[in-house]
Amino acid sequence: MADKLEISFNSPQCGWMSIGFFDGVNEFHTTTAHSPHETALPDLMRILTAIASKGGSPTDGEGASSNEYLLQWNRDPEEFDFHFVRNGDELTIEIYQYPTDERDAATRELVYSHTGPIAEIVRAFGETFARLYEDRETDEFEFNWRQPFPYREYEEFKARAR
């Protein structure tokens, strides 16, 4: 049985950020890039805000489901899909890796999966986002991530995730 979910997003360096997921059974670590998916970090916060708010479209995308969300991110040349599926008070996170930026579903591999209470998962992401926020000046976040810190999305997430 999986333990409490731990998530780490380490200080960005040269446009890259190390991220990790660990639940006592499954573990996944990789690096992600600031581009070409420039809105990946704020989109992740919007998705989790929508999940914490019991649904809605986090990116105002047409046809977006209030129970299923997809975030694209990359490592170059590998690409990732972070797939979030809400089922009642449970949330499943699936991370799929593609070997290239072509995103061919036949070549993707499930590299991490975790299911747990929404409150637990939102809390774990909240702790991670709070560390990024607290360390943003020391880590020169904007210079090292080559993107501005997503202040608006972070504040909205904090307000909804309580």
**What CATH fold (topology level) applies to the domain 7-161?**
Secreted effector protein pipB2 fold (3.30.2450)
* Tens-digit pLDDT profile for residues 73-125: 998 889 999 999 999 999 999 999 999 888 999 999 999 999 999 999 999 99
Give the pLDDT of residue 162. 79
* Tens-digit pLDDT profile for residues 126-143: 999 999 999 999 999 999
Residue ranges of domains in the chain: 7-161
Q: Is-cis flag, bond preceding 36, omega within 30?
A: yes
pLDDT at residue 2 is higher than 70: no
